[in-house]
């Protein structure tokens, strides 16, 4: 199997990059000041979100739209960004003669809204209500089954026309969503450095290095940010998970995306018992599994150091380190094997690792994410301090 044909593309191949939204408006009260920007994109918006997000945003958004003489309708996207919910949303666009989509919520709601706009050839505004993912930024949507299992992703024609990052609204989300966003964002480094760390291409080198910067910002600032929600450091961390994480995906493009951490997330979504945990929480656990694979199958010493560094960081901010932490203590061996088979399917990103992985090996890695070498156990707490300047893994 040819693992990544794009590496061998001739120099004349046409590249299309969707770097970022045409406009980002951010601030503590950003939504209230975005009326003109919204009105410039359409007169009849369809607002797409989940019930919680729509309830939170109604008192802010509705008076704003009315004051700009916009006729609007709102619709619940359902529980997942699935083909069924997309069909219902497309019907709503036709029924309401909408000329603009406004997506409100977390990753799944924004993915549904973005894909709806793409399929309906309409402009899209994203208003994230949590810092759990970079979905408000990217030109990508993930499609799930009606039961919440990950199926595939779709590249969209462009990033949103407008992203409104209102810190006041983000602050209404549970702190756990920001923790999950941190897990999803740090995965950029662990995945991009493996898939694209040896690239000679200027834009890819730039994306990989920014992924390292993003990880370092999060190592340095996350604990303080979570101690003072809404504070300045908290805002910096929100910018990192919502904006910078998205920018890295934009600059790196299709060649600089996910590897094993997201493949393991995708496998886990096929377990109903995993649906109570957030995308970034599963991805964070997936990073540890990826590092275990690098240790076990490649003998990679840097991966051991990196995993121990992450275990300490996860302890500090509350990211899951094991199947137990993900609420999957009771998982059977056959369920675990099914997850591993999904994660190792022939089209899975797990095969961007520089070695072959089979389900049996993945199962072994999934149950041993917290294992430490005896010597390192004794030194725990002295040698495992987070060092963001010297660690190269
Ligand atoms: Zn992700």
CATH (domain of 303): 1.20.1090.10
In this structure, the answer to whether residues 66 and 138 fall within a common structural domain is: yes
In this structure, the answer to whether residues 191 and 132 fall within a common structural domain is: no
In the chain, pLDDT over 70 holds for what percent of residues?
A: 91
Residue 80 is assigned to a structural domain of this protein = yes
Q: What pLDDT band is residue 3 in, cutting at 50, 70 and 90? A: very low
Residue 177 is assigned to a structural domain of this protein = no
Domain assignment of residue 111, given as a range? 23-170
- Give residue 97 CA to ligand 1 midpoint distance, Å: 33
- Give residue 148 CA to ligand 1 midpoint distance, Å: 15
Task: Report how far residue 89's alpha carbon sits from residue 95's, in angstroms, rounded to the nearest whole number.
Answer: 10
In this structure, the answer to whether residues 235 and 357 fall within a common structural domain is: yes
Q: What pLDDT band is residue 188 in, cutting at 50, 70 and 90? A: very high
In this structure, the answer to whether residues 212 and 136 fall within a common structural domain is: no
In this structure, the answer to whether residues 129 and 201 fall within a common structural domain is: no
Task: Report how far residue 106's alpha carbon sits from residue 114's, in angstroms, rounded to the nearest whole number.
Answer: 12
In this structure, the answer to whether residues 270 and 375 fall within a common structural domain is: yes
Mean pLDDT of 338-349: 96
- Give residue 371 CA to ligand 1 midpoint distance, Å: 25
In this structure, the answer to whether residues 115 and 28 fall within a common structural domain is: yes
Residue 212 is assigned to a structural domain of this protein = yes
What pLDDT is stored for residue 372 in this prediction? 82
Domain tally, the chain: 2
In this structure, the answer to whether residues 50 and 192 fall within a common structural domain is: no
- Give residue 69 CA to ligand 1 midpoint distance, Å: 37
- Which of the listed residues 143, 170, 197 is the one where a domain comes to its end? 170
Are residues 89 and 73 in contact, defined by beta-carbon separation less than 8 angstroms?
no
- Give residue 282 CA to ligand 1 midpoint distance, Å: 9
- Which of the listed residues 170, 195, 214 is the one where a domain comes to its end? 170
In this structure, the answer to whether residues 130 and 235 fall within a common structural domain is: no
In this structure, the answer to whether residues 45 and 72 fall within a common structural domain is: yes
- Give residue 286 CA to ligand 1 midpoint distance, Å: 11
pLDDT surpassing 60 at residue 375: no
- Give residue 269 CA to ligand 1 midpoint distance, Å: 13
pTM above 0.75, yes or no: yes
Mean pLDDT of 168-172: 95
pLDDT surpassing 60 at residue 79: yes
Q: What pLDDT band is residue 166 in, cutting at 50, 70 and 90? A: very high
Residue 6 is assigned to a structural domain of this protein = no
Residue 18 is assigned to a structural domain of this protein = no
Task: Report how far residue 266's alpha carbon sits from residue 289's, in angstroms, rounded to the nearest whole number.
Answer: 13
């Amino acid at each position: 199997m040819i693992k990544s044909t794009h590496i061998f593309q001739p120099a004349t191949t046409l590249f299309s990059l969707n770097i970022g939204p045409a406009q980002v408006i951010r601030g503590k009260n950003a939504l209230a000041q975005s009326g003109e920007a919204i009105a410039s994109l359409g007169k009849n918006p369809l607002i797409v979100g989940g019930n919680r997000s729509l309830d939170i945003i109604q008192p802010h958004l509705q008076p704003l739209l009315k004051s700009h003489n916009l006729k609007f309708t709102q619709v619940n996207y359902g529980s997942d960004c699935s083909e069924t919910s997309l069909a219902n949303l497309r019907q709503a666009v036709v029924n309401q003669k909408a000329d603009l989509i406004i997506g409100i919520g977390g990753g799944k709601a924004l993915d549904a809204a973005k894909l709806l706009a793409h399929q309906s050839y309409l402009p899209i505004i994203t208003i994230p209500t949590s810092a759990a993912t970079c979905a408000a930024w990217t030109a990508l949507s993930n499609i799930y089954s009606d039961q919440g299992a990950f199926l595939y992703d779709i590249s969209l024609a462009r990033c949103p026309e407008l992203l409104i990052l209102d810190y006041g609204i983000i602050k209404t989300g549970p702190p756990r969503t920001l923790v999950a966003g941190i897990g999803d964002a740090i995965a950029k480094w662990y995945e991009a450095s493996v898939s694209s760390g040896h690239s000679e291409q200027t834009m890819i080198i730039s994306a990989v290095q920014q992924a390292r910067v993003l990880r370092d910002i999060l190592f340095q600032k996350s604990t303080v940010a979570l101690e003072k929600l809404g504070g300045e450091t908290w805002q910096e961390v929100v910018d990192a998970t919502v904006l910078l994480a998205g920018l890295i995906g934009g600059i790196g493009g299709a060649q600089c995306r996910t590897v094993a951490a997201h493949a393991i997330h995708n496998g886990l979504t096929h377990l109903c018992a995993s649906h109570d945990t957030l995308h970034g929480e599963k991805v964070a656990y997936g990073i540890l599994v990826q590092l275990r694979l690098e240790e076990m199958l490649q003998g990679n010493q840097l991966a051991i150091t990196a995993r121990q560094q992450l275990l300490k960081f996860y302890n500090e901010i509350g990211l899951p380190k094991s199947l137990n932490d993900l609420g999957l203590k009771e998982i059977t061996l056959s369920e675990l094997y099914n997850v591993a088979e999904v994660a190792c399917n022939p089209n899975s990103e797990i095969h961007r690792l520089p070695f072959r992985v089979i389900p049996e090996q993945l199962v072994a890695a999934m149950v041993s994410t917290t294992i430490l070498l005896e010597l390192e156990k004794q030194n725990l707490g002295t040698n495992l301090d987070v060092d963001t300047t010297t660690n190269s893994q």
